Amino acid sequence: MEVFSEPYEKSLTIDLSVSPAKVRGFRNTYLLVPMESEYPTHSKRGMVVSKRLIDDSRVLWADTQQIKQRQKRDYQKLFEELQIPLVRSRRLKDDTEVVKRPPIPVYDRTFNDELWTQEWYMQDTRTRPDLPKLDLNVLPVYRAGITGKGVKISILDDGIEYTHEDLKTNYDPDISWDCNEDDNDPFPRYDPTHQNSHGTRCAGEIAMIANNGKCGVGIAFNAKVGGVKLLDGLVNDRIEGTALGFAHDIVDIYSASWGPNDDGKTVDGPGRLANEALTRGVTEGRGGKGSIYVWASGNGGDRGDNCNCDGYLASPYTISIGSASQRGEFPWYGEACASTVAVTYSSGAYQDQMIATTDLHNQCTIKHTGTSASAPLAAGIVALALEANPNLTWRDVQHLIVWSSEIAPVADNPGWQKNAAGLWFNTRFGFGLMNAFGLVRAAVNWTTVPPKAICVVKPYPLNNNTISYGNPVTLTFETTGCKGTQQEVRYLEHVEVRTTIHYSIRGVLEIYLTSPAGTQVQILNKRKLDDSTKGFKDWTFMSVTTWGELAQGIWTVTVIDNVGPESNTGSVENMQINLHGTVVLPNHMKHGARNYNHDYNRVHNRVGKAQIKYKERDIHDFLSDLANGDAGDYMNKY
């Protein structure tokens, strides 16, 4: 199977018994599939096709499509025994399992849905105010009448059971597609293993219908969801690229809870077409405001994995979302990573609750888990912000998450550091736990961030680029931030380190990035299961740790092997730093460093016995008050 691209709209004849077809969503890009079954993809015939295409002056590029290993980011089967809560349970009439709990406080009766009482991450069920805050602060947003209405979210996964009673009125067929079968029906394939429930579960977290007595309440319960099915079959670059770019003119948010294997030894990411789709999404999507890609940060923590070895999570175009447990702790499956932007709640230790959502066969579940469950919650919170302010760009959304996420609920964990811009960061939790009301409140009166530039910095010449056990290599980069050029950067957003490194054992390497202000972050930890001799070939690591800092000055990157054996040897062949940011200080940062609410844990969302009710007029009045800075006691309360 070959994919190739032509520079112009003109015919190209290849007399090799293949059938060309346009690749959906890509201009002048074609797929060639052997017509006869006796010619498999990896045969010599395929090599001949590739060579003929590459040698043709009318062809810009040609790739043989390789199968990509992709993994859904819920709990791994190896640890299923740890998922069983040590509590008694009962069965609802629809055979849904629900954990038995103490008597339900009156504020839990906000919605009449059967699993609402199990959605602990949307209502504060603490019995003591000194405990970490237990919700994502969404109830005040609902009281303002903001529920995700008018926002479209695409679930990139294994399909959606769009006939489900708790999803069907929020399903949008216009943003749905089956990339595996190349048709417009993303309904999941049933089988005895229940393996294709993942997309339906992710969709339910976002868009379960409120107050219909079925399952639970989606975090953006009036948003529309679609399903792009790509994980029920062989996956390659063409399929991923098609999924990432499908309906980008009308989709607001793409939610992805999958990626390369979280096995502690894989280094993989988007291919040519997937990268092109991401780039096109943020530049052309949503009428030029940019598609928003929310990605689960991975479940390989128990295997020592690092999400910077996943090219999707190391992309500035995605928002990497990790997990915090019900206890406000870093879960055993979490991956500490410099590219993580924020966290939402998910499962933790065996005694912690999991996430409630829809399941296959019109059923419900309270056992959705892993970072798979965290990313859809983040996507739903972003949907609430987009309803409040549809003009937000993809970069506005990232700035808003950085500026509004809270550290108090997860503060009692190691690894927190304050960068030179006054922002707290932790490779386990990013900039903190997402705060729905804080994000929406900031979004309403938001000023669009200045245009983005990318300053590329090369290192000083290396006298010795050789790495060996106990002998690190430190590369120094001095920059003015490309001052005086069109790519000048003063105020940082993402920082990329792009490099090629050869080494005896890839998994023993650690890489540290230090900013001119002295902020240091580990962008690669050692991975004990990675015994590959391939090193890193033109690989990009990414960090958000220095967000808001000044770009100008001396940067250093240190590559070290502290594991051994002593015979290990290798070299850094090339390296560059890409500084993403702006030349003008974003408006929200002009009044100084962020003022953190260290009393955030004291906010206890109890909305009373009555169900949440609102009128359209109330929404407009509230948004107007927010925009004018006149929300009064309501603002102070939450």
d(CA 544, CA 524): 14
DSSP codes of every residue in 192-241? TT-GGGHHHHHHHHHHPPTTSSSS---TTTTSEEEEEE-SSS-B-HHHHH
Q: Which of 47, 64, 81 is the last residue of a domain?
A: 64
- Measured in Å, how far apart are the chain's first and last C-alpha atoms? 55
d(CA 513, CA 578): 12
Co-location of 234 and 272 in the same domain: yes
Co-location of 445 and 458 in the same domain: no
Co-location of 122 and 225 in the same domain: yes
Q: How confident is the model at residue 558 (pLDDT cuts 50, 70, 90)?
A: very high
Q: How confident is the model at residue 10 (pLDDT cuts 50, 70, 90)?
A: very low
pLDDT tens-place string over residues 445-500: 999 999 999 999 998 777 789 999 999 999 999 999 999 999 999 999 999 999 99
pLDDT tens-place string over residues 281-339: 999 999 999 999 999 999 999 999 999 999 999 999 999 999 999 989 999 999 999 99
- Relative to beta strand 258-259, strand 424-425 is unpaired
How many CA within 13 A on the CB side of residue 256?
26
Q: Is the pLDDT of residue 9 over 70?
A: no
CATH assignment of the domain containing 131? 3.40.50.200
Co-location of 269 and 144 in the same domain: yes
Which one is catalytic: 154, 178, 197, 198?
A: 198
Co-location of 412 and 492 in the same domain: no
Q: Is residue 30 part of a domain?
A: yes
Q: How confident is the model at residue 632 (pLDDT cuts 50, 70, 90)?
A: very low
Verify whether residue 567 is a known catalytic residue: no
Q: Which of 558, 582, 606 is the last residue of a domain?
A: 582
Which one is catalytic: 372, 405, 504, 543?
A: 372
Q: Is residue 622 part of a domain?
A: no
Contact at 8 Å (CB) between 532 and 493?
A: no
Which one is catalytic: 63, 74, 124, 157?
A: 157
Percent of the chain with pLDDT over 90: 71
Q: Is residue 84 part of a domain?
A: no
Max CA pair span of the chain = 75
Q: What's the average model confidence in pLDDT over 119-143?
A: 85
Q: Is residue 623 part of a domain?
A: no
Co-location of 138 and 157 in the same domain: yes
Q: How confident is the model at residue 603 (pLDDT cuts 50, 70, 90)?
A: confident
Percent of the chain with pLDDT over 70: 81
CATH assignment of the domain containing 484? 2.60.120.260
At 253 the three-state DSSP class reads: strand
Phi/psi of residue 454, nearest 5 degrees: -130, 115
Q: Is residue 636 part of a domain?
A: no
Co-location of 281 and 359 in the same domain: yes
The count of structural domains within the chain is: 3
SS3 readout for 60-124? CEEEECCCECCEECCCCHHHHHHHCCCCCEEECCCCCEEECCCCCCHHHHHCCCCCHHHCHHHCC
Q: Is residue 497 part of a domain?
A: yes
pLDDT tens-place string over residues 228-262: 999 999 899 999 999 999 999 999 999 999 999 99
Q: Is the pLDDT of residue 578 over 70?
A: yes
Verify whether residue 504 is a known catalytic residue: no
Co-location of 397 and 462 in the same domain: no
- Residue 533 has what DSSP assignment? S
Verify whether residue 5 is a known catalytic residue: no
Q: Is residue 609 part of a domain?
A: no
Q: What's the average model confidence in pLDDT over 359-371?
A: 96
Co-location of 568 and 535 in the same domain: yes
Tokens 């990035």 — which residue?
513
Choose from 68-77, 84-93, 459-468, 529-538 the range with maximum mean pLDDT.
Answer: 529-538
Q: Over the range 16-51, which residues count as b (16 or more CB within 10 Å of their CB) and which as e?
A: bebeeeebbbbeebbbbebeeeebebeeebbeebbe
Among 65-74, 235-244, 408-417, whose mean pLDDT is lowest? 65-74
Q: Is residue 470 part of a domain?
A: yes
d(CA 530, CA 267): 9
Q: Is the pLDDT of residue 514 over 50?
A: yes
Co-location of 428 and 544 in the same domain: no
Co-location of 241 and 352 in the same domain: yes
Q: Which of 395, 423, 449 is the last residue of a domain?
A: 449
pLDDT tens-place string over residues 267-292: 999 999 999 999 999 999 999 999 99
- Residue 237 has what DSSP assignment? H
Q: Which domain holds residue 323?
A: 90-449
Tokens 């590459």 — which residue?
54
**Greater model confidence, 629 or 202:** 202
Co-location of 165 and 53 in the same domain: no
- Please tell me the predicted confidence (pLDDT) of residue 416: 98
